[in-house]
Structure 1
């Protein structure tokens, strides 16, 4: 059964295969999404950051787990992961139903150490205090830096828990056995923010390392404050679409502006001191606003 919020999207004949898999079951594993050599390059770019990063604080992020952020600058090749064509296409299809375009919610390196207990099962979209079930809030991607196995705590996912039914109120014990997302380097695990999942327990003798890249509706507050993580000079070095996803583009209607304009104006060589405020509406909204203005002008003319 397809969740009601995806019914119109699922009816599209041109829908890409990854989006269709996500709509059907809430997750997908794409084998060989990138060459293993790209993953090795990213690991080299990270250097000793995993070693120097302190363990997380708190039971959720994991006291046997290290996490760091800002991967676009700390491991530049990760930009290719963030802009992976197949994934971005699906993110635009899934999230674009409810926003102008998706934004980057976070980019995170994580290392789960031996002895780490299994994470509490959760849905990432619960970070936003809003009613659930009518829209999809986020779209998450897990890239392994080491091979993921059941023994070293590969992510567990409960299939079909993206539906708007009683699974939101049921205990994990009522949901049956989860799928374990075992993967090789170069594979990728993609799952909706509405899907119940959790990191497994690492029973091996080595840390399990990976990358999480998450996308969310463009008008939501993000987990990682992109404006503080990446300054304008760095944003100028990015692919324009990636710069847009970290905040250098407005969301219709009139959200996220700089001095009344699209913040992409900041990526130019010079930013004028004086800028006009510009409307930014969807086509349907523009028709409503323009029609109102024409009526008002006609009424004013008639009054004269």
Structure 2
């Protein structure tokens, strides 16, 4: 069940393919995240490739770089929206990416795209992804603010010429730019002398291979410091039935102080599956 506030933004997401929620978190929280990432921004190289950009820096693994990044992943309204958008097609959602992006002066406009195209499955039956961009600096028309093409989540785009004019997501630190994986978007060109910085946190269906390899980004020694909810979003949980297990158990066993050498394989089934298997087993046991 959704509350009035969530319902408002959910309606916008479903109608337009995006929404911009003003001042969802305090600017001081975003400033703390920006400070935590300052060293990584300085050390990260500029990208290589016309899609990632030659004047753009990108790096992931944000949950081990800043506790504030974990707080943003768990932001209640965003999580509620992600579960409302994705929950009809999966048992649970997962973190898809937590990435920092810095668009430097001279960068050109990014190729307009929709992020669900990273998966080859059939499109249109359900959403695959919800992305949230958190500006670390002000996003303006001139410094590379994200361009979003409203309504493209509802109609296939055959070529770029068929796109209508985009909206430019002008906003400030503390605002949250939310858009569906089926919505066409792209970073704008940076025509200023300043760097535009932000982070993107994405949530996807729990049975998909995520964009960011979560278990390499957050190995057990790192993830054991997470809260249980954050560890689950970062991949340390099974998606019923039995998907993503470790030795037949929930991978959260790897976060315990003592990991058994031979974990006991244990069913992790949906209620309907559990009941069907139980009834089947009863008939076979009774027939012995």
TM range (shorter): over 0.9
Q: Deviations over 1:156-204 (max 9, x none)?
A: 11111111x3x332x3332311111110111010001000001011111
In structure 2, C-alpha distance between the alignment counterparts of 1:216 and 1:58, rounded to whole Å: 25
Q: Unpaired segments of 5 or more residues in structure 2?
A: none
- The aligned counterpart of 2:217 is 229
Determine if the alignment matches structure 1 residue 52 to structure 2 residue 40: no
Determine if the alignment matches structure 1 residue 99 to structure 2 residue 90: yes
Determine if the alignment matches structure 1 residue 253 to structure 2 residue 241: yes
Which moved further from structure 2: 266-275 or 253-262?
Answer: 266-275
- The aligned counterpart of 1:7 is none
Q: Unpaired segments of 5 or more residues in structure 1?
A: 1-11
- The aligned counterpart of 1:242 is 230
In structure 2, C-alpha distance between the alignment counterparts of 1:288 and 1:24, rounded to whole Å: 39
Determine if the alignment matches structure 1 residue 140 to structure 2 residue 131: yes
Give the C-alpha shift of residue 104 in structure 1.
0.9
In structure 2, C-alpha distance between the alignment counterparts of 1:178 and 1:275, rounded to whole Å: 52
- The aligned counterpart of 1:185 is 173
In structure 1, C-alpha distance between the alignment counterparts of 2:264 and 2:27, rounded to whole Å: 48
Query: 1:194 pairs with 182, 185, 192, which one?
Result: 182
In structure 1, C-alpha distance between the alignment counterparts of 2:142 and 2:231, rounded to whole Å: 38
Determine if the alignment matches structure 1 residue 279 to structure 2 residue 242: no
Q: Deviations over 1:262-302 (max 9, x none)?
A: 1112222212223221111111122222222223234x15x
SS in 2 for 1:48: helix
8 Å contact kept, 2:149–2:166: yes
Give the C-alpha shift of residue 25 in structure 1.
1.5
Determine if the alignment matches structure 1 residue 33 to structure 2 residue 21: no
Determine if the alignment matches structure 1 residue 168 to structure 2 residue 163: no
Describe how 1:38-117 pairs up with structure 2 within 5 A.
Answer: 38-117=29-108
- The aligned counterpart of 1:3 is none
In structure 2, C-alpha distance between the alignment counterparts of 1:243 and 1:274, rounded to whole Å: 22
Computed over aligned residues only, the root mean square deviation of the Cα atoms, in angstroms, reads 1.5
Determine if the alignment matches structure 1 residue 212 to structure 2 residue 166: no
In structure 1, C-alpha distance between the alignment counterparts of 2:61 and 2:2, rounded to whole Å: 37
8 Å contact kept, 2:112–2:184: yes
Determine if the alignment matches structure 1 residue 149 to structure 2 residue 132: no
Alignment TM-score, normalising by the size of structure 2: 0.95
4+ residue stretches of structure 1 with deviation over 6 A?
none
In our comparison, the structure showing a higher alpha carbon Rg is 1
8 Å contact kept, 2:157–2:163: no
In structure 2, C-alpha distance between the alignment counterparts of 1:198 and 1:136, rounded to whole Å: 19
In structure 1, C-alpha distance between the alignment counterparts of 2:222 and 2:19, rounded to whole Å: 32
Aligned pairs, number: 286
Give the C-alpha shift of residue 14 in structure 1.
5.7
Which moved further from structure 2: 56-65 or 225-234?
Answer: 225-234
